[in-house]
Amino acid sequence: MKTALVIAFALAPAAFAQNTKAAPCDRACLESFADQYMDALIAHDPKRLPLSAKLKNTENGQRLEPGDGFWRTATAKGKYRLFVDDPQTGNIALITTMTEANVPVSIAIRLKIENRQIAEIETFTVRTGLSSGTGAKELETLASPNPLFLQTIPATERASREDLIKTANMYFSALEKNDGKGNYSFFADDCERLEDGQQTTHNPNFRTGSGFAAAPAGRGGRGGEKQAAPPPAGFNPALLGCKEQFLSGYFHFVTRIRDRRFVAVDTERGLVFSFVFFDHAAGKYRDYKMSDGTEASNGPTRPWTWELAEMFKIERGKIRRVEALLDQVPYGMLSGWSTWDEGMSSKPR
Amino acid sequence: MRLESFAAAVLLASTLAAQSKSGACDRACLEAFVDRYLDAVLAHDPAKASIAKNAKFTENGQKLDIGDGLWNTMDAKGTYRLFVTDVDAGEVTFLGSISEGKAPAMIALRLKVANRQITEIETFIQRSPSSAQGFERIGYKWTDPIPPSERMSREDLIKVANMYFTGMQQNDGKGVYPFADDCNRIENGGFTTNVPVAAGKQRPDPKTATGYSSNWGCKEQFDSGLLHFVTRIRDRRFVAVDPERGLVFSFIFFDHSGGDTRNFETPDGRKVTAGPAQLWTWQLAELFQIQKGKIHQIEAIMERAPYGMPSGWSDWESGLSDRGRDVTGKDTSK
């Protein structure tokens, strides 16, 4: 009896420390929150979650009450999941697959955990994407992310948070009004990119007519018109690697990459997760010269914005992998987490 | 002679007054602002449109710099031109066809004019060639004035228009639906009421149908209770009223929440599941022609928007609320 009491005392503080609200939430803890969140979505029940009283919840840039939106329609979790854990700031971001009314959808989620409670939920559900809603199926076929993402960077080679964000931001700065004349040495030679479940580098099978920015399908619906695919250009950037695409000057029609929010950084694995918007102003901005002097006219013919979740694997200051989810939204739309000035700015945050 | 020149001077002065910044902007004056605005957009030059320095501009719910968005892409005006002109409020709204990037499209436009300058610009572009072609084919009417003795008040016109939204939201077939017998609705350039039954097809019976039919009239559709899946009609902004012609112009959003909101009972007790299975919000510009308390014509353009998106002109609570709001600036009910 006396012994038991001693054991009880010995156990109590340790057990208490494990459960205390003040203990930091490590990688496993953060990832378990992501699962709890998705399970609660499927159960259509926000009450299952430890939600902070000051919770802010957005879905595809719109502030909603928890319980509304995807809470009503989520039906199952998928297999594909790629995490960026950031215990230092309490953020966890991931790219994954789920189903909505039994239809596969790709999802990007960011949660901010404070005192073992969810203080911020940012969900981005991709229903159409780059190619008429096939992205989630493509990711499910892959089943798991490229193993490169999970490799730990040797401690002596790790970059600081600031440097990782700086490198990731170079990607956006070089893509915005891309002219082929920048310094693109931030790309590793083996860099590849996956967008909406499809590889968009070194891929002869990928082609969207006159550019990645012109999806074949528009925002459909009653009376809605499918956006006709522009005629194929003679130049197919998808055949090239990351650096060669940027060197070509092809992406000039991406007029503004704004509201650049770097929301989670994993220094151990060299990962950076961001939410951004790509604006295509169209009109005269479609006409430009590629870096070899060729006159080109590419991109959407009317104002077009992609909302994106985009993540980077960076080693020794170079980008080895880019992975993104994207869906079309009204031109100029904001994230719900920025002021208008921040949301319209190309400045990284 | 002296008298004549005095009279001429008075006449000149009064002409100047009419053109001065403080003079009232009448119907013709307001409608001219629409053309001046569209011509400026066409020229990609905001300086051509008499826009006030701090004017606010939104396109499809997003605040943009004046000169961005459609300013870069519009390349022609079209032939469909329906105005709802609100002289009392200094607002002019317009539903019209345009061309953008060489493709037909529809625009809903609202301009607020003060002191002969545009102080607010709200645009909603519905990018669908078939819609614009449909509106141009059908044409427009309702430019005839309603006899003064039959004219309704601004408040009553808005009240009747709002009954349409209230009747559609979670429609159960049991509400009061203020439709005239000849009521018709055009959505995105096509009739969605009283469509003739196609050869070889049968007219769906509201007593057995599980979805509403465009073969039915306005009232028949609402009486069926089959529009229940429109979960929420929110951010109901009535932005211009023209009592002379019985017209009301609104911007609103229809949310379809999916999930369990798709399951409902018809007025005769049948259990039905209908509506979009995935989340779906329509952004709309919708206008009504109302006479003697009844809706005769409804015209709307609608485009899918992110679920829950607000208009850019409301706070978050108003944007998610289903309360009808007179935002013309001439709310006499207050």
Q: How far apart are CA B301 and CA B213, in angstroms?
A: 19
Q: Tell me if chain A has a CB within 8 Å of the CB of B104.
A: no
The residues, ordered by sequence, that sit 6+ positions from A183 with a Cβ below 8 Å of its Cβ are none
Letter string b/e over residues A313-340, b meaning 16 or more CB atoms within 10 A of that residue's CB: bbbebbbbbbbbbbbbbbbbbbbbbbee
Chain A: residue nearest B187 by CA? A223
Q: Tell me if chain A has a CB within 8 Å of the CB of B132.
A: no
Chain B: residue nearest A73 by CA? B259
A219–B64: do the CB atoms touch at under 8 Å? no
CA dihedral in degrees (B169, B171, B177, B181; nearest 10)?
A: 110
Grade residue A88 by pLDDT with cuts at 50, 70 and 90.
very high
In the stretch 114-173 of chain A, residues with CB closer than 8 A to chain B read 125, 127
Question: What percent of chain A is modeled with pLDDT above 70?
Answer: 86
Please tell me the predicted confidence (pLDDT) of residue A210.
38
pTM of the model: 0.90
Q: Tell me if chain A has a CB within 8 Å of the CB of B277.
A: yes
Letter string b/e over residues B63-72, b meaning 16 or more CB atoms within 10 A of that residue's CB: bbebebbbbb
Q: Tokens standing for A331?
A: 């031109």
With a cut of 90, say whether residue A252 has pLDDT above it.
yes
Question: Which of B59, B277, B304 faces A221 most closely, judged by CB atoms?
Answer: B304
In the stretch 180-239 of chain B, residues with CB closer than 8 A to chain A read 187-190
**Amino acid present at A35:** D
What integer is the mean pLDDT of A191-199?
95
What residues in B contact A282, CB-CB < 8 Å? 72-73, 101
Q: For the segment B285-298, what is each residue's pLDDT rounded down to a tens digit?
A: 999 999 999 999 99
What integer is the mean pLDDT of A176-196?
97
For chain B, the C-alpha Rg in angstroms (whole number) is 22
Question: Which of A220, A285, A330 faces B305 most closely, judged by CB atoms?
Answer: A330
Grade residue A223 by pLDDT with cuts at 50, 70 and 90.
very low
**Amino acid present at B316:** W
Q: Tokens standing for B291?
A: 């006479």
Choose, out of B45, B62, B70, the residue to mutate when testing the contact with A (most A CBs < 10 Å): B62
Question: Which of A218, A303, A333 faces B70 most closely, judged by CB atoms?
Answer: A303
Question: What percent of chain B is modeled with pLDDT above 90?
Answer: 90
Please tell me the predicted confidence (pLDDT) of residue B22.
52
Question: Which of A73, A223, A340 faces B279 most closely, judged by CB atoms?
Answer: A73
Q: Tell me if chain A has a CB within 8 Å of the CB of B13.
A: no
HEC profile of B60-113: CCEECCECEHHHHCEEEEEEEEEEEEECCCCEEEEEEEEEECCEEEEEEEEEEE
Which residues, in sequence order, are bridge partners of residue B252?
B284
With a cut of 60, say whether residue A343 has pLDDT above it.
yes
B308–A63: do the CB atoms touch at under 8 Å? yes
Question: What percent of chain A is modeled with pLDDT above 90?
Answer: 82
The residues, ordered by sequence, that sit 6+ positions from B283 with a Cβ below 8 Å of its Cβ are B60, B61, B124, B251, B253, B302, B303, B304, B305, B309
Q: For the segment A229-243, what is each residue's pLDDT rounded down to a tens digit?
A: 444 457 888 899 999
**Amino acid present at B124:** F
Q: How far apart are CA A135 and CA A148, in angstroms?
A: 21
Please tell me the predicted confidence (pLDDT) of residue B130.
97
Which residues, in sequence order, are bridge partners of residue B236?
B324
Q: Tell me if chain B has a CB within 8 Å of the CB of A287.
A: no
- Cβ–Cβ under 8 Å, residues B250 and B285: yes
Q: For the segment B42-58, what is each residue's pLDDT rounded down to a tens digit?
A: 999 999 999 999 999 99
Chain A: residue nearest B99 by CA? A302
Please tell me the predicted confidence (pLDDT) of residue B24.
84
B68–A281: do the CB atoms touch at under 8 Å? yes
Please tell me the predicted confidence (pLDDT) of residue A133.
85
Please tell me the predicted confidence (pLDDT) of residue A130.
87
Q: How far apart are CA B184 and CA A49, in angstroms?
A: 48
With a cut of 90, say whether residue B329 has pLDDT above it.
no
Question: Number of A:B CB contacts under 8 A?
Answer: 140
Q: Tokens standing for B58?
A: 């939104």
Q: Tell me if chain B has a CB within 8 Å of the CB of A61.
A: yes
Q: For the segment A138-153, what is each residue's pLDDT rounded down to a tens digit?
A: 999 999 999 999 999 9
With a cut of 50, say whether residue B38 has pLDDT above it.
yes
Please tell me the predicted confidence (pLDDT) of residue A89.
97
Query: Whole-number mean pLDDT of chain A?
Result: 89
Q: How far apart are CA B334 and CA B326, in angstroms?
A: 10
Q: Tokens standing for B286?
A: 């919708």
Size (chain A), residues: 349
Choose, out of B57, B70, B74, B127, the residue to mutate when testing the contact with A (most A CBs < 10 Å): B127
Please tell me the predicted confidence (pLDDT) of residue A204.
85
What integer is the mean pLDDT of B275-284?
97
Q: How far apart are CA B256 and CA A189, in angstroms?
A: 47
What integer is the mean pLDDT of B233-243?
98
- Please name the helix (run of DSSP H) or strand (run of DSSP E) that holds residue B233, with its range, or none: strand B232-242
Q: For the segment B132-163, what is each residue's pLDDT rounded down to a tens digit?
A: 999 999 998 878 899 999 999 999 999 999 99
Q: For the segment A15-33, what is each residue's pLDDT rounded down to a tens digit?
A: 444 444 557 899 999 999 9
Q: How many CA atoms lie within 13 A of B150 on its CB side?
A: 10
Q: Tokens standing for A59?
A: 């879905």
SS3 A92: strand
Chain A: residue nearest B71 by CA? A283
Output the CA–CA distances (angstroms, integers) from residue A6 to A11, A19, B122, in the order listed: 9, 21, 73
Question: Which of B44, B73, B130 faces A302 most closely, judged by CB atoms?
Answer: B73
Please tell me the predicted confidence (pLDDT) of residue A222.
34
With a cut of 50, say whether residue A224 has pLDDT above it.
no
Please tell me the predicted confidence (pLDDT) of residue A131.
79
Helices (H), B120-266: 129-138, 154-168, 218-224
Write out the DSSP string of B251-299: EEEEEE--GGGGEEE-TTS-EEE-S-SS-EEEEEEEEEEEETTEEEEEE
For chain A, the C-alpha Rg in angstroms (whole number) is 22
Question: Which of B69, B260, B306 faces A332 most closely, judged by CB atoms?
Answer: B69
- Cβ–Cβ under 8 Å, residues B86 and B242: yes
Grade residue A226 by pLDDT with cuts at 50, 70 and 90.
very low
Q: For the segment A65-77, what is each residue's pLDDT rounded down to a tens digit?
A: 999 999 999 999 9
ipTM of this model? 0.90
